[in-house]
Structure 1
Amino acid sequence: SMVRTWLASLKQEGQSSKTINRKISSLRSFFKNLVKNQVLEQGPMGSISSPKNAKRLPQFVDSRDIDTLFSAVEFGNDWQGLTERLILQILYSCGLRQAELISLQQHHVDLVNSSIKVLGKGNKERVIPIASGLRQGIEHYITQKKVEFPERHTGPLLLNKKGKKLYPRYVYDVVKKYLSLITTIEKRSPHILRHSFATHLTNNGADINAIKELLGHSSLAATQIYTHNSIEKLKDAHKKAHPKA
């Protein structure tokens, strides 16, 4: 039919499945209206199926850019600078969701055993190990907090310059500001640092079940998307290095 021919031409032009599906939806509504108003007896869209939307791979920050972030970017020496640096460190080093970061309580940090307890979706608890650099950063932050806000020795670990709990827009703006300095990727949200955490673990050979537990995923299927990023990296390396690629 003419409709099929037109849709095939859109695909040949390189139009995305999402765009084609929008056009199909508009046509369905158009022909449905014609049938309803008795202009046509039957529309041509009954046998037209919508193409599946291709799953987009999670974006992530290159590990070299992460190194630049923590080794070369200037953070202020005041309370705001300390907080902003620790926000980025925890999001990347622990793979936390934004809400988990904001609700992280000071008493959930175990400096003796170098771990933090995180309350995830559905109040599901998980324990995440922390590296020595992050452990030192948190320890320094808590020490400074006693000076800045002596009355806030319990409650949320991270506080803004007024001594209040962080809010989502604040965290988002901090991440966007600093990622803009080190990467050109389109998305620069807290979740990108979670994607980066998982992708870098996968690329360095971490067990997928361990990554699932660290991310707090309820099923392995949600974690397997990161193995696709790893495969894309292997394909790229093969293409660049193999003489017959």
Structure 2
Amino acid sequence: MANNKDAFRDYLELEKKYSPHTVNAYLNDICFFESFNKNQFHQENIDQANYSQIRTWIVSLVDDGISNVSVNRKMQSLKAYYKFLLKTKQIEVSPLLKHKALKTSSTLQIPFSEKEVVDVLNQMQNPVGFEEIRNKLIIDLFYTAGIRRAELIHLKIGNVNVLGNTIKVLGKRNKERIIPLLPIVSGQLILYFNERTRLETVTYNDFFFLTKKGLKLNESFVYRLINTYFSTVSEKIKRSPHMLRHTFATHLLNNGADLNSVKELLGHSSLASTQIYTHSSLSELKKVYEEAHPRNQK
């Protein structure tokens, strides 16, 4: 089993080109099932587990209050593992062959309004010192470039082109893309970098965004930053970096951007991923439609 997990990691990293975060999530899920299976069925090796055992794990997860979305994600990890065992001819049939995902409620995520974003940026209009300047730049980058949290955290100094008003980020499956920046954001990049050079200690020289102690940012830090600033202007439940990315896409579509262009900016591999943002634009389209269509004129 240990050798299989190492080989599976190589398969995810080298062949599927998944990000380190995704690879670790898959392996953690497999380890959790392995532990459950050992305790529940006294079976050391999950390679020969059957669907009844997996179903028992699913029931246990649900009983523990794990959401259907999270359970489905764990099943995706197991599916990938058994698919790998099939591919390497270590099993003949996947125990998850006939598994159906648990039902989930499709809740529409509501992006920040233009006013909410402007209100936050107005609060930060004249940032002073390293942290305030960095925080304003982070919020502006999420909103004007639509980058992912991991892309911001791993942005390298060498991939910031101030003169060309672009940044190069490493997205999912190690796909690089170049994102244009507004001139006002490029000005903030220079301001931040000047402050960054004054830090007494820098442990991670290659990374563009750092803490005041010169360390690389982490996911929790970035989440708290966005949540803290937007909690002052918004009562929405989700106030996360992803919600700012969602807001970026929705506001572009609301203001006439075509879906293909937004897809490229977001770094999506297919239009299907981008189309989820059109739902938020429908309210705007409906308003224009009702105001403009002759049949609705009074």
- Shared fold, TM over 0.5: yes
Match of 2:283 among 220, 232, 238: 232
Q: Does 1:124 align with 2:175?
A: yes
Pick the structure with greater CA Rg: 1
Q: Which sections of structure 2, spanning at least 5 residues, go unmatched?
A: 1-67, 69-100
Name the structure 2 match of 1:183: 234
Residues 1:186 and 1:244: Cα distance change in structure 2 (over 3 Å): farther
- The answer to whether the 8 Å contact 1:79/1:161 transfers is yes
For the aligned residues, what is the CA RMSD?
2.7
Amino acid in the other structure paired with 1:208: L
Q: Which of 74, 79, 84 lines up with 2:130 in the alignment?
A: 79
Alignment partner of 1:135 is 2:186: yes
Say whether residues 1:113 and 2:137 are aligned partners. no
Q: Secondary structure at the match of 2:106?
A: coil
For the pair 1:205 / 2:256, whether they are aligned, the reply is: yes
Find the counterpart in structure 2 of residue 19 from structure 1. none
Paired residue type of 2:249: A
Q: Shift of the alpha carbon at 1:172?
A: 0.5
Work out which of the residue numbers 126, 143, 151 in structure 2 matches 1:100. Answer: 151
SS of aligned partner of 2:158: helix
The one-letter code sitting in structure 1 at the alignment partner of 2:230 is L
Question: Structure 2 CA distance, aligned partners of 1:199 and 1:74?
Answer: 24
Is the 1:111–1:135 contact (alpha carbons within 8 Å) kept by the matching residues of 2?
A: yes
**Counterpart-to-counterpart distance in 2, 1:241 and 1:129:** 34
1:158 aligns with 2:209: yes
Query: Are residues 1:173 and 2:224 paired?
Result: yes
Go from structure 1 to structure 2 and tell me whether the alpha carbon gap of 1:154 and 1:63 turns closer, same or farther (over 3 Å shift): same
After superposition, give the CA deviation of every residue in 1:181-228 in whole Å (9 maximum; x if it has no partner): 111211001100000000001001111111101101011101011222
Judge conservation of contact 1:76–1:82 (CA < 8 Å) in 2: yes
- Give, as a single letter, the amino acid of the residue that structure 1 aligns with 2:231: S
The size of the alignment, in residue pairs, is: 197
Q: Distance in 1 between matches of 2:222 and 2:111?
A: 18
Partners of 2:291 and 2:190 in 1: CA distance: 44
User: What is the identity, as a one-letter code, of the residue corresponding to 1:181?
Assistant: T
Q: How does 1:25-64 map to 2 (within 5 A)?
A: 55-64=106-115
Instruction: Please state how far the C-alpha of 1:55 moved relative to its aligned partner.
Output: 3.2
* CA spacing shift, 1:187–1:75, aligned 2, 3 Å: farther
Instruction: Judge conservation of contact 2:199–2:213 (CA < 8 Å) in 1.
Output: no
SS in 1 for 2:239: coil
Equivalent residue in structure 1 for 2:243, among 164, 167, 192: 192
TM-score by length of 2: 0.60
Quote the residue 1:66 is aligned against. Answer: 117
Runs (4+) of structure 1 exceeding 4 A deviation are: 50-54, 73-76, 149-153, 236-245
Provide Cα deviations, 1:122-175, integer angstroms capped at 9, x if missing partner: 110000000011100011111111122476794111111111000111100000
Q: Tell me the distance in 2 between the aligned counterparts of 1:57 and 1:217.
A: 19
Q: CA deviation at 1:229?
A: 1.5
- Distance (whole Å) between structure 2 residues aligned to residue 189 and residue 219 of structure 1: 24
Contact 1:75 1:85 in 2 (8 A): no
- The whole-number CA distance in structure 1 between the counterparts of 2:145 and 2:258 is 16
Match of 2:40 in 1: none
Does the CA contact (< 8 Å) of 1:175 and 1:190 recur in 2?
yes
Q: Distance in 1 between matches of 2:144 and 2:124?
A: 17
C-alpha deviation, 1:53, in angstroms: 5.0
Gap regions ≥5 residues in structure 1: 1-21, 23-49
Matched letter for residue 125 of structure 1: E
Report the Cα distance in structure 1 between the residues aligned to 2:110 and 2:206, rounded to whole angstroms.
33
